[in-house]
Structure 1
Amino acid sequence: MPLSQIAAPERSRNDPDADARLEQRLLTILSQIQDAAHGLDVVTDGQVYAVVATGGAVRVLLDPERFPSEAAQSALAETIQTLLADEPGVERLVVKPRPRSICLRSELPGISRVIGVHSGKGGVGKSTVAVNLALALAARGLQVGLLDADVHGPSAPTLLGIEGRMETTSDGTRVRPLERHGLKVVSLGFLLPETKALIWRGPLVERGLAQLFTEVDWGELDLLLIDLPPGTSDVHLEAARQAPLAGILTVTAPGQVAVDDVRRGMEMFADLAVPCLGIVENLAGLVCGRCGTETALFGAGGGAELATLTGLPLLARLPFDAALAEASDAGRPPLVASPETAASAWFQALAGRVAGRLGLDQADQPEGYAMRARRTVSAEAVPVQSPEETGPMDCRADTMPRTEPPIPIPVRSGTSQAPINPEPDTAPRYAEPGEPIPGVRDVVLVASGKGGVGKSTVTVNLACALRAQGLRVGVLDADLYGPSIARMLGTDTELEQDASGRAIPAVGHGVHSLSIAQRIPPEAALVWKGPLVTQTLMDMVYGVAWPDLDVLLVDLPPGTGDVQLSLLERLPVSGAVLVTTPQRLAQVDAERGIALFHELDIPVLGVIENMSHLVCPRCGESMPLFPDADVRALARRRHVPYLGRLPLDPAGQALADTGRPLVEALPESAAARIFQEFAHQLRAALEREARATLREADPNTRAAHAAFWERLIED
């Protein structure tokens, strides 16, 4: 279906008047609950802070400061859940504490407004959107800064074609941003060689980000854009703590997996009292240059669905553009190198909408620029346009500072979120480094430096291919902040337990799998710090009733953070498989990942080149999706096996959204046969590693490994 024919998510589909009537009716019902201690009902007393309805989704927000204890708050939450669960019009009910800002300061000196650009899933083009949006806003006469806070995958230097080191001020207390195309830019990429992985645990991340906010001489700015990493992590908490965010811009791909992840991120920012400015759907489709057929590369309609679910405007729908990808790899932004192109027009239009929503461009503010405060918490910071003015542009033709954020850990409990104490009740159960997993022969990590390269899709289909060859296979979804394995395998159900209380991995398509998504509601965000991340991962590995397995594939999150370090330090890893696309940005991050594995003496079993090209389903034309950067050359340079290249199969993407792996659903397809070949090569590599006992016996190797962890602990 052409992009121009995709229905816009009109906000009238969530009738504001109907929502308001439902909110008022529910408030009336709740006012019948009396608090004996105060002699008032819970609404008048302020224990019920607000009721927010969007379509059939209802959130009842409680004010923790109005309760004498957590037990009293939990008791009221249970009462409300029972009272409203069966009310007409309530399709999904969440009872939770009201949003609370954790920001330490009301302003950053010299900076008028700060916004974040966020995505739940990596690889959706978030950084490309952030960089080009910043340039388009600067072209409107605004003074704009860009902070590249994607600490494990900084890409602003590449996208802008900017190199060099930031200079210090005359007094030596701050650094000055580099400038390019009228944009002030700060990135850790200026401090890090392309082949060096940034190996920081949570405390170092927090300290480094705090310095980026407090020790940079930005000068006078109308707007500072923060390019945040995908997911929900320490970086997002620290950004919300250090900067008074006026809002976030959410970037998603059209597929259901991306929508699942971005909902978690939006929920996290809502809990932090940071409003969402709107949604950008990227990578919406690709038009064949020969026959004109448009192919939905990563599903369809995700942005519209997200707008409908949240009641937020879909600000833009951007198609996949191979020329834009090539320009990005070369550091030539279209707004500068080719301002007459369609891509330039897309970002200029998006910039106009964002500037208008922030009040930075008075000419773009329409009449009736207002909103209902009860419908979006902290909405006074960001006015919302009327439904008629918020259709997407179709781009084809309370504030108390706290030292620790009050983020509840959600657990699956029917259709509500049940907050529990984020502190563990018992001491963390840490395994000894290299302790075998009972019944598991080989542990293989599936990794990527950059998000969105298809790592999880490769993991699921590789698991199915190994199972088809007679192996007993399991998958551990270690991507805590963007879990997608359960959806792809169709195992998004609550887990059963054995007699000892251990979780039993779900079985889908003959593959045993475990994911945090099986334990939390689909929209719940995990915002955990290092120690709790480590404990959770060890529980998922050693506290689970894994059956006897020949291979356990571990789907890692992108980058080099707490999750990777915790698993690399403790798991008995047999080897790792790296997934990358031909895009230079992805290869730079993949090379950092290879360097990390080599430094830890973990064998890299091979590199898979994903999304190498697309074959038009109508005329058979082979279309490259990214500039032809040679992944084979990367493998040769790093002395690792090149397993092969895999085309992007839109049918496989659609199947993944419905829990049907391509290898199972289309076993005779070209992509399925390639996965079978990957499985053969992986088995051969594992057999070679099993015979390579000299490597493990080498005392020099073990000493180097131990020295690495000692240096990391000292840092």
Structure 2
Amino acid sequence: MNIFSRRNNELSEEAVLAALATVQEPELGGDLVSRRMIKHLQIDDSRVAVTIDLTTPACPLKDQIEQEVRAAVLRVPGVREVAVEFTATVRQNPGLFNKASIPGVAHVIAVASGKGGVGKSTVATNLAIALAQEGARAGLLDADVYGPSAPIMLNLKGRPPMVTPERKMVPLEAFGIRTISVGYLVPEDQPLIFRGPIISSMLRQFLYDVAWGELDYLVVDLPPGTGDIQLTLAQAIPLSGAVIVTTPQDVAMADVTRGIEMFRKLNVPILGLIENMSYFRCPHCGERAEIFAHGGAQAASRKFGVPFLGEIPLSLAIREGGDTGRPAVTSDQPEAYAEAFREVARNLAGRVSVATLA
């Protein structure tokens, strides 16, 4: 398909393309032209309009790419104006041929923690919504069968999913994402007493017997820990990679080590570490307190050679949002730190692209 169009001008397509070929994709490497990221190019007198096809709508370096494209094209003699637009095509990971893929789902991302109480489910829920806010098609699978939190965090309590004529569950929708959880199927006050094989079978149903539709990212909130259930799930699910959530203190770092080693033994890429409850900033005086220390996840990322995706502060607004079914990333309160979640989500999307296409 011809990506070029022009109207009565002396500017050459070759000169503009040569300029675009000097702009590197900052995460994947290689220039925009050789990576076939130029979707459309229009030259109209002294005006150039270019459409760039990103690898994710949540690209963390979109602004950098736009600035460098503008600067490069403006250096072409005769160009006075540059318009840059973006589209995005999320490519599926070609390396998962040995596991059954989920129809329509490009990437499955596990959110894990070595221990409970680090805010893993809060982070997973907000990451899924943040990816949707950035323009991606996102879903959330609440795989924490012993302590399902999605019904509360997404304000979906008491709403069982419908079933299609093909006997597939229809995921519920909230805040722009599709979601499934055992908590939608079992009364809130009923204890969940399952053995490992039953849990594995249930999770397989949630993956393959749910009408997920077309998704760029399916975020899976795994149970905490590194036991048999986690191993079984990680082996069964066609994971594009795993994210490990931790808090800064040393005792949490020991569990991070176990989590990283578990995924490495299963040949699951570690997409990065997230430091939750990283610090507390008083909403009244603005003073910062590092209640659980600070920087442990960054130190661990350097030690193990895995990316650091960002830090999420400790905040009453984040906790209240989870308890009331209004996730922090949907709030405009400064104390909810919605932009912190969005920044982590963009970094995560970038790492998925690197793991898939680099």
Taking structure 2 as the reference length, the TM-score comes to: 0.70
Which residue of 2 is the match for residue 532 of structure 1? 198
Q: How does 1:222-371 map to 2 (within 5 A)?
A: none
Which residue of 2 is the match for residue 483 of structure 1? 148
> 2: CA distance between counterparts of 1:628 and 1:676?
21
The change in CA–CA distance for 1:462 and 1:673 in structure 2 (over 3 A counts) is: same
Which residue of 2 is the match for residue 691 of structure 1? 357
Tell me, yes or no, if the aligned pair for 2:114 and 2:226 is still in contact at 8 Å: yes
Higher RCO (C-alpha under 8 Å, 6+ residues apart): 2
Match of 2:168 among 481, 502, 506: 502
Letter in 1 for 2:196: G
Is 1:655 the counterpart of 2:324 in the alignment? Answer: no
Letter in 2 for 1:653: R
Deviation at 1:676, TM superposition (A): 1.2
Deviation at 1:494, TM superposition (A): 1.1
Deviation at 1:525, TM superposition (A): 1.4
Which residue of 2 is the match for residue 626 of structure 1? 292
Deviation at 1:628, TM superposition (A): 4.1
> 2: CA distance between counterparts of 1:683 and 1:495?
28
Deviation at 1:465, TM superposition (A): 0.9
Residues 70-117 of structure 1, C-alpha deviations (whole Å, 9 max, x = no match): xxxxxxxxxxxxxxxxxxxxxxxxxxxxxxxxxxxxxxxxxxxxxxxx
Residues 141-180 of structure 1, C-alpha deviations (whole Å, 9 max, x = no match): xxxxxxxxxxxxxxxxxxxxxxxxxxxxxxxxxxxxxxxx
Q: How does 1:162-201 map to 2 (within 5 A)?
A: none
Which residue of 2 is the match for residue 451 of structure 1? 116
Is 1:511 the counterpart of 2:180 in the alignment? Answer: no
Which residue of 1 is the match for residue 239 of structure 2? 573
The change in CA–CA distance for 1:468 and 1:489 in structure 2 (over 3 A counts) is: same
Is 1:608 the counterpart of 2:298 in the alignment? Answer: no
> 2: CA distance between counterparts of 1:640 and 1:482?
29
The change in CA–CA distance for 1:647 and 1:526 in structure 2 (over 3 A counts) is: same
Q: How does 1:376-395 map to 2 (within 5 A)?
A: none
Tell me, yes or no, if the aligned pair for 2:329 and 2:336 is still in contact at 8 Å: no
Per the alignment, in what secondary structure is the counterpart of residue 547 of structure 1?
Answer: coil
Tell me, yes or no, if the aligned pair for 1:477 and 1:513 is still in contact at 8 Å: yes
> 2: CA distance between counterparts of 1:559 and 1:455?
11
> 2: CA distance between counterparts of 1:600 and 1:452?
25
Could you tell me the percent identity over the aligned residues? Answer: 44
Letter in 2 for 1:591: T
> 2: CA distance between counterparts of 1:562 and 1:552?
22
Tell me, yes or no, if the aligned pair for 1:584 and 1:629 is still in contact at 8 Å: no
Match of 2:126 among 427, 438, 461: 461
Which residue of 1 is the match for residue 338 of structure 2? 672
Match of 1:640 among 284, 298, 306: 306
The change in CA–CA distance for 1:479 and 1:670 in structure 2 (over 3 A counts) is: closer
Tell me, yes or no, if the aligned pair for 1:612 and 1:646 is still in contact at 8 Å: yes
Tell me, yes or no, if the aligned pair for 2:250 and 2:296 is still in contact at 8 Å: no
List runs of 5+ in structure 2 lacking aligned partners: 1-96
Which residue of 2 is the match for residue 583 of structure 1? 249
The change in CA–CA distance for 1:498 and 1:433 in structure 2 (over 3 A counts) is: same
> 1: CA distance between counterparts of 2:314 and 2:185?
31
Farther-moved stretch of structure 1 (551-560 vs 561-570): 561-570
Per the alignment, in what secondary structure is the counterpart of residue 503 of structure 1?
Answer: coil
Which residue of 2 is the match for residue 473 of structure 1? 138
Tell me, yes or no, if the aligned pair for 1:578 and 1:590 is still in contact at 8 Å: yes
Per the alignment, in what secondary structure is the counterpart of residue 558 of structure 1?
Answer: coil
Residues 348-392 of structure 1, C-alpha deviations (whole Å, 9 max, x = no match): xxxxxxxxxxxxxxxxxxxxxxxxxxxxxxxxxxxxxxxxxxxxx
Q: How does 1:13-24 map to 2 (within 5 A)?
A: none
> 1: CA distance between counterparts of 2:112 and 2:307?
15
Residues 421-460 of structure 1, C-alpha deviations (whole Å, 9 max, x = no match): xxxxxxxxxxx96100011000000000011111111111
Letter in 1 for 2:161: L
> 1: CA distance between counterparts of 2:291 and 2:245?
16
> 2: CA distance between counterparts of 1:636 and 1:521?
44
List runs of 5+ in structure 1 lacking aligned partners: 1-431, 693-715
Tell me, yes or no, if the aligned pair for 1:433 and 1:570 is still in contact at 8 Å: no
Tell me, yes or no, if the aligned pair for 1:433 and 1:569 is still in contact at 8 Å: no
The change in CA–CA distance for 1:667 and 1:549 in structure 2 (over 3 A counts) is: farther
Letter in 2 for 1:498: T
> 2: CA distance between counterparts of 1:628 and 1:683?
25
Per the alignment, in what secondary structure is the counterpart of residue 618 of structure 1?
Answer: coil
Per the alignment, in what secondary structure is the counterpart of residue 643 of structure 1?
Answer: strand
Which residue of 2 is the match for residue 682 of structure 1? 348
Deviation at 1:464, TM superposition (A): 1.1
The change in CA–CA distance for 1:668 and 1:468 in structure 2 (over 3 A counts) is: farther
Deviation at 1:501, TM superposition (A): 2.1
What is the RMSD computed on CA atoms of the aligned residues? 1.6
Residues 547-592 of structure 1, C-alpha deviations (whole Å, 9 max, x = no match): 2100000000110123312221121110111100011111111111
Tell me, yes or no, if the aligned pair for 2:279 and 2:288 is still in contact at 8 Å: yes
Which residue of 2 is the match for residue 343 of structure 1? none
Deviation at 1:529, TM superposition (A): 1.2
> 2: CA distance between counterparts of 1:668 and 1:509?
19
Letter in 1 for 2:152: R
Deviation at 1:488, TM superposition (A): 0.5
> 1: CA distance between counterparts of 2:344 and 2:283?
24
Deviation at 1:669, TM superposition (A): 5.6
Taking structure 1 as the reference length, the TM-score comes to: 0.36
